[in-house]
Structure 1
Amino acid sequence: MRESSTVPEDVKQRLNWLLIFVVICFSVLVISLWYLQMIKGEEFKERAVENCIRSLVEDAPRGRIYDRQEELLVTNRPAVVVSIIPAEVDDLEKLSERLSRIIGISPEEIALTVKNYRENPFKPVKILDDCKTNKIVEIEERKDELKGVVLEVKPRRDYLYHDFAAHSLGYVGEIDKEELQRFGNPKFQGGDIIGKAGLEKYYDDILRGEKGGKEVEVDALGQEVATLLYQKPIPGEDLVLTIDRDLQLYGENLLFDKKGSIVVSNPNNGEILALVNRPSFSPNLFANGISSSDWQRLSSDADYPLTNRSVQGLYSPGSIFKVVTAIAALEEGVTDRKRKIYCSGSFELAGQVFTCWKETGHGSLSIVDGIAHSCNIYFYTLGKELGIERYNKYMQKFGLGEKTGIDLPAEAIGTIPSAQWKKREVKEIWFPGDTINLSIGQGYLLLTPLQVHTIICAIAEDGEI
Structure 2
Amino acid sequence: MRNKKKFDLNRYNSFILIMIIIFSGIIIRLSYLQVVKGEEFKEKANNRSIREIPDSAPRGNITDVNGKILATNKQGYMLVYNETEENKEVFFQTMSKVFEILEENKEKQQDDFELKINPYRFEFKAQNDEARKLLEIRFKRDRGFNEEIEKKLFKNKKEKLTEEQKKQVDEQLLKITPKETFKKLLKDYDINQSNYSLEEQRKFMIIKDSIKMQSFSGYKPVVIASNINKKTAFIFLQKLNELPGIDITTEPVREYPKGELGSAFLGYISKISWDQEKFEEKGYDVNSDYVGTSGIEGVFEDRLRGSKGGRIVKLNKNGRIIEELGRREPYPGQNIQLTINSDVQAAAEKSLDAVMTELRNSPGRGDVNTSNATRGAAIAIDVNTGGIIAMASKPTFDPNLFAIPGKLSPDLYKKYFNPDLGEFGKQYILSKGLMGSYPGKSLDDVLNIMFPVDKSIKNNTTIREDVYDIYPKPFYNYATMSIIPPGSTFKPMTTIAALESGAITTDFGIYDPGFFDDGKGFKKSFAVGGYGSVGIGKALEVSSNPFFMTLGKVMRDKYGDDILAKYAWKFGLGVKPNSGAVASTGIELPERYGQVFNTWTLQNIFSTQYLWQTMSTLKAGADQRGNSFPSINLYDNENDSEKVKKIKKQIKSEIQECIKNGDKKFSKENYEKLLKSLINSDNLYKDKNITDKDISRIINAIYYVTVSDAYSQLNVGANMYNASIGQGISNFTPLQLVNYVSILVNGGNRYKLHLVDKILDADGNLIKQEKPEILDKINLKPETVEAVKNGMYLVDHGSRGTAASYFSGFPISTGGKTGSATFSNDQAALGRTSYAVYIGFAPYDNPKIAVCVVVFDGGHGGFVAPVARAMYESYFKDELSKMGYSSQYTSNTQEETKKKEESSTQQTSGEEVNTQQVND
2:220 is matched with which residue? 123
1:444 maps to 2:752: no
3-state DSSP class of the match of 1:404?
A: coil
Report the CA distance shift for 1:151/1:351 in structure 2 as closer, same or farther (over 3 A): farther
Report if aligned partners of 2:488, 2:725 keep a CA contact under 8 Å in 1: yes
Q: Counterpart amino acid of 1:403?
A: S
The aligned runs of 1:253-402 (5 Å cut-off) are 253-257=350-354, 258=356, 259-289=375-405, 290-291=407-408, 292-299=410-417, 300=419, 302-348=471-517, 351=521, 353-356=523-526, 358-359=528-529, 361-387=530-556, 388-401=561-574, 402=583
Cα offset, 1:194, TM superposition: 1.4
3-state DSSP class of the match of 2:603?
A: helix
Report if aligned partners of 1:383, 1:436 keep a CA contact under 8 Å in 2: yes
1:54 maps to 2:151: no
Cα offset, 1:133, TM superposition: 4.2
1:101 is matched with which residue? 100
1:411 is matched with which residue? 591
Report if aligned partners of 1:400, 1:451 keep a CA contact under 8 Å in 2: yes
Report the CA distance shift for 1:87/1:440 in structure 2 as closer, same or farther (over 3 A): farther
Report if aligned partners of 2:92, 2:204 keep a CA contact under 8 Å in 1: yes
Please list the CA deviations of residues 38-90 of structure 1 after superposition, one character each: whole Å capped at 9, or x if unmatched: xxxxxxx9xx7995113211111111122222223322112233333445551
- Consecutive unaligned residues of structure 2, counting only runs of 5 or more, are 1-40, 104-108, 110-198, 357-374, 425-470, 575-582, 611-710, 751-920
Q: Could you tell me how far apart the structure 2 residues matched to 1:103 and 1:424 are?
A: 62
Q: Could you tell me how far apart the structure 2 residues matched to 1:400 and 1:375 are?
A: 22
Q: Could you tell me how far apart the structure 2 residues matched to 1:320 and 1:414 are?
A: 15
Q: Could you tell me how far apart the structure 2 residues matched to 1:455 and 1:242 are?
A: 19
Report the CA distance shift for 1:425/1:79 in structure 2 as closer, same or farther (over 3 A): farther
Which of 71, 74, 77 in structure 2 is aligned with 1:77? 74
Cα offset, 1:210, TM superposition: 0.6
Q: Counterpart amino acid of 2:573?
A: L
Report the CA distance shift for 1:351/1:126 in structure 2 as closer, same or farther (over 3 A): farther
Q: Could you tell me how far apart the structure 2 residues matched to 1:344 and 1:278 are?
A: 40
Q: Could you tell me how far apart the structure 1 residues matched to 2:218 and 2:278 are?
A: 24
3-state DSSP class of the match of 1:167?
A: helix
Report if aligned partners of 2:79, 2:226 keep a CA contact under 8 Å in 1: yes
Report if aligned partners of 2:513, 2:531 keep a CA contact under 8 Å in 1: yes
Cα offset, 1:358, TM superposition: 2.6
Q: Counterpart amino acid of 1:148?
A: G
Q: Could you tell me how far apart the structure 1 residues matched to 2:566 and 2:516 are?
A: 25
3-state DSSP class of the match of 1:62?
A: coil
3-state DSSP class of the match of 2:282?
A: coil
Give aligned pairs, total.
417
Q: Could you tell me how far apart the structure 1 residues matched to 2:278 and 2:488 are?
A: 43
Q: Could you tell me how far apart the structure 1 residues matched to 2:88 and 2:331 are?
A: 35
Cα offset, 1:351, TM superposition: 5.0
Cα offset, 1:377, TM superposition: 0.7
Which of 458, 461, 464 in structure 1 is aligned with 2:746? 461
Report if aligned partners of 1:174, 1:193 keep a CA contact under 8 Å in 2: yes
Report the CA distance shift for 1:102/1:351 in structure 2 as closer, same or farther (over 3 A): farther
Report the CA distance shift for 1:423/1:222 in structure 2 as closer, same or farther (over 3 A): same
Report the CA distance shift for 1:433/1:218 in structure 2 as closer, same or farther (over 3 A): same
Superposition RMSD in Å: 2.7
Q: Could you tell me how far apart the structure 2 residues matched to 1:443 and 1:364 are?
A: 27
Q: Could you tell me how far apart the structure 2 residues matched to 1:174 and 1:266 are?
A: 36
Q: Counterpart amino acid of 1:333?
A: G
- Consecutive unaligned residues of structure 1, counting only runs of 5 or more, are 1-44
2:160 is matched with which residue? none
1:188 is matched with which residue? 284
3-state DSSP class of the match of 1:462?
A: coil
Cα offset, 1:345, TM superposition: 0.8
Report if aligned partners of 1:93, 1:107 keep a CA contact under 8 Å in 2: no
Cα offset, 1:187, TM superposition: 1.3
Q: Could you tell me how far apart the structure 2 residues matched to 1:353 and 1:86 are?
A: 81
Report if aligned partners of 2:82, 2:320 keep a CA contact under 8 Å in 1: no
Report if aligned partners of 1:357, 1:376 keep a CA contact under 8 Å in 2: no
1:111 is matched with which residue? 204
Please list the CA deviations of residues 106-159 of structure 1 after superposition, one character each: whole Å capped at 9, or x if unmatched: 442243234443314512233332234454344334433433334332211111
Report if aligned partners of 2:237, 2:247 keep a CA contact under 8 Å in 1: no
Cα offset, 1:254, TM superposition: 2.0
Cα offset, 1:456, TM superposition: 0.5
Q: Counterpart amino acid of 2:414?
A: Q
> Structure 1 length as normaliser, TM-score?
0.82
Please list the CA deviations of residues 264-312 of structure 1 after superposition, one character each: whole Å capped at 9, or x if unmatched: 2221111222222333322111212342332223444933233222212
3-state DSSP class of the match of 2:392?
A: strand
Report if aligned partners of 1:376, 1:440 keep a CA contact under 8 Å in 2: yes
Q: Counterpart amino acid of 2:337?
A: V
Report if aligned partners of 1:355, 1:376 keep a CA contact under 8 Å in 2: no
Report the CA distance shift for 1:86/1:356 in structure 2 as closer, same or farther (over 3 A): farther
Q: Could you tell me how far apart the structure 2 residues matched to 1:351 and 1:279 are?
A: 45
Single out whichever of 435-444 and 138-147 deviates more from structure 2: 138-147
Q: Could you tell me how far apart the structure 1 residues matched to 2:527 and 2:76 are?
A: 58
Report if aligned partners of 1:194, 1:201 keep a CA contact under 8 Å in 2: yes
Report the CA distance shift for 1:225/1:186 in structure 2 as closer, same or farther (over 3 A): same
Report if aligned partners of 2:378, 2:390 keep a CA contact under 8 Å in 1: yes
2:600 is matched with which residue? 420
> Structure 2 length as normaliser, TM-score?
0.43
Q: Counterpart amino acid of 1:268?
A: N
The aligned runs of 1:13-92 (5 Å cut-off) are 52-87=49-84, 89-91=87-89, 92=91
Single out whichever of 260-269 and 292-301 deviates more from structure 2: 292-301
Please list the CA deviations of residues 365-402 of structure 1 after superposition, one character each: whole Å capped at 9, or x if unmatched: 22333223221111112223334322222222112222
Q: Counterpart amino acid of 1:162?
A: G
Q: Could you tell me how far apart the structure 2 residues matched to 1:103 and 1:268 are?
A: 55
Q: Counterpart amino acid of 2:474?
A: P
Structure whose residues are more often helix by fraction: 2
Identity of aligned residues (%): 29
Q: Counterpart amino acid of 1:57?
A: P
